[in-house]
Structure 1
Amino acid sequence: MDLAEIPVLSLDADKADLPARIGESFRSFGFALIRDHGIDQTLIDRAWELTEAFFALPVEVKRKYFIAGQGGARGYTPFRTEVAKGASEKDLKEFWHVGRDVPASSPLAASMPPNIWPEEIAGFRETFTELFAQFDEAGAKVLSAIATDLGLDARWFDPAIEDGNSVLRLLHYPPVSDAAGGAIRAGAHEDINLITLLLGAQEAGLELLGKDGRWLSVAPPEGALVVNIGDMLQRLTNHVLPSTTHRVRNPSGDRASHSRYSMPFFLHLRSDFRFKTLRQCITDTRPDRYPETITADDYLQERLREIGLKR
């Protein structure tokens, strides 16, 4: 398996040329690797411990936190529920979602249900509330660099993501057995949201589809974030920034008997944000692919149905 030669950028040290460098990385791969992201390592370490502790609970305990009909928006989603768009086999994973809490009086409350928390794991709520906030802050900095690279004001995305419907996903891929058949840990897919910030890709398995049609392994240095473009940003930029297909393949050899954990933060727009293609991304040779308008929540609900989380 060839390695994707994605440059590792610093959110802190590379401030002057970060917009241009991150833009180049996204145009080339749809992905970027970012260190010095500001998320506290002690908090990350605690989050890993609590993630493992939760998924080690008995299935019947975890299923107490599954909310039917909510599309996995909050709480627990059982093993082999989600399916990649167009795939026939469901993914070999289970996950937990933490979202943004908004007041019941908020006009966004209908699309953003309140969080639920496992009572069996001490410190779970406090840890992941803080981790969500730090991911949120890091994501806003990445979007600021993207905005500058696109020729927008550095704060352009701020109102678009204020009270955005972002989700922190705690992912567990259990050991893989022969009974998996043709299923893999995460089938080839593109993310729905604006950008995804991922911790935990140091464990082998994450691959992106290169422009030449070859699968390339993504191997960030310890502690770095993997950041990728989602379909919402691809739509907004008229495909100037591509949403790249990626997957998590099954391990081989003795690694097949090990669990894999990861923590993606899916940074979303406000639910009531209405898509309008950026004029900077429309040219005579790149006409507007999306003249129709749609809200971010309408788009999200359509995609959740495609991946089996809603009916």
Structure 2
Amino acid sequence: MPSRADISPVPLSLVEENLPEAAARFGDSFRRTGFAVVEGHGIPADTIGAAWEAAKRFFALPDEVKRRYHQAGGAGQRGYTPFGIETAKGASLSDLKEFWHVGLDLPPGHRFGGIMAPNIWPDEELPEFRPALQALFGALQQTGLRVLKAIAVHLGQPADFFESPVQDGNSILRLLHYPPVSPQADAVRAGAHEDINVITLLLGAEEAGLQLLSRQGEWLEVPAPEGSLVINVGDMLQRQTGGQLPSTTHRVVNPPAERRHLSRYSMPFFLHYRPDWLIEPFVENSAMPPITAHDFLLQRLAEIKLS
């Protein structure tokens, strides 16, 4: 069994009660591990419960029904992506998962309408799916803004620094289903990778399997007490901070033999900058040139074989 990463939960209420303390505690955790664990995230239990139920009901549908909601050529950005497509950067075997993506609902004529595709909804099969996922999307977006406030202060920026860059951001809520694993499986549920976005907020990490790669090259379990929210730094924020906050390699390993017959579900929220935001490192003399969030996303989607 791998050791556990040294990550102590941080109450999210500290952001409002003592912002400098929240900035220090989140900053320390992110700098050391690239991860943080939030307790008391404040997202209502019924909001989370409704989303879990909707996700499980969708993934239980027949394969031919689910595939109606797969958009060929859509880079997996909306709707359903079938089992065995996404592949970790540099890996030869695809991950053992299927997923659904929900993005921001833009009004007609929005300036990002040509970049951020409209959502796809399985209203015919599951009319409760749309409202459940829209509610969770909004709640996670607001939670992410609270964490970004602490990160901004930790980096010596104004507390509202990230509000404009993530407004109308190309954020995605992913519903993940890892089916039971065959004893003969060569691949893992999610191969070693880094996230593309600014920060990721993950519900469902209580189920064992999520591991991070330490700077010493050791795989460590990410401790996630029941009801907590796991957050990790993505490549966009790593680039923006000139590497001060690392986007840590992580994976989801296959369960032990006695649990391989069970599915695993999780719901990561990938919080993104708006497409035209220029990712330009805070630090001077950075070797990384500026790049827009949209161009960066396109590069990375090609690397993981979604486009």
TM-score (norm 1): 0.95
Give 1:107's aligned amino acid: R
Look up the match of 1:145.
Answer: 150
Among 103, 121, 129, the residue aligned to 1:117: 121
Per-residue deviation, 1:219:
2.1
1:100 maps onto 2:101 in alignment? no
Per-residue deviation, 1:69:
0.6
Look up the match of 1:162.
Answer: 167
Among 233, 237, 240, the residue aligned to 1:236: 240
Q: Distance in 2 between matches of 1:50 and 1:179?
A: 30
Following superposition of structure 1 onto structure 2, how do residues 1-311 of structure 1 map, counting pairs within 5 Å? 1-13=2-14, 15-16=17-18, 17-118=21-122, 119-181=124-186, 183-278=187-282, 281-282=283-284, 287-290=285-288, 292-310=289-307
Residue by residue over 1:6-37, the C-alpha shift from the partner in whole angstroms, topping out at 9 and shown as x without a partner, is 01000114641100110000000000000111
Q: Distance in 2 between matches of 1:127 and 1:276?
A: 36
Residue by residue over 1:120-157, the C-alpha shift from the partner in whole angstroms, topping out at 9 and shown as x without a partner, is 11311001001000000000000010000000000000
TM-score (norm 2): 0.97
Residue by residue over 1:273-309, the C-alpha shift from the partner in whole angstroms, topping out at 9 and shown as x without a partner, is 112111xx34xxxx4121x221100100110000000
Q: Distance in 2 between matches of 1:19 and 1:200?
A: 25
Residue by residue over 1:149-183, the C-alpha shift from the partner in whole angstroms, topping out at 9 and shown as x without a partner, is 000000000010000000000000000003422x1
Q: Distance in 2 between matches of 1:234 and 1:13?
A: 24
Of 39-48 and 153-162, more deviation after overlay is shown by 39-48
Q: Distance in 2 between matches of 1:276 and 1:122?
A: 42
Per-residue deviation, 1:70:
0.7
Give 1:87's aligned amino acid: A
| 1:160 match: secondary structure | helix
Q: Which runs of 5+ in 1 are unaligned?
A: none
Q: Which runs of 5+ in 2 are unaligned?
A: none
Q: Distance in 2 between matches of 1:288 and 1:124?
A: 44
Q: Distance in 1 between matches of 2:14 and 2:299?
A: 40
Q: Distance in 2 between matches of 1:151 and 1:23?
A: 11
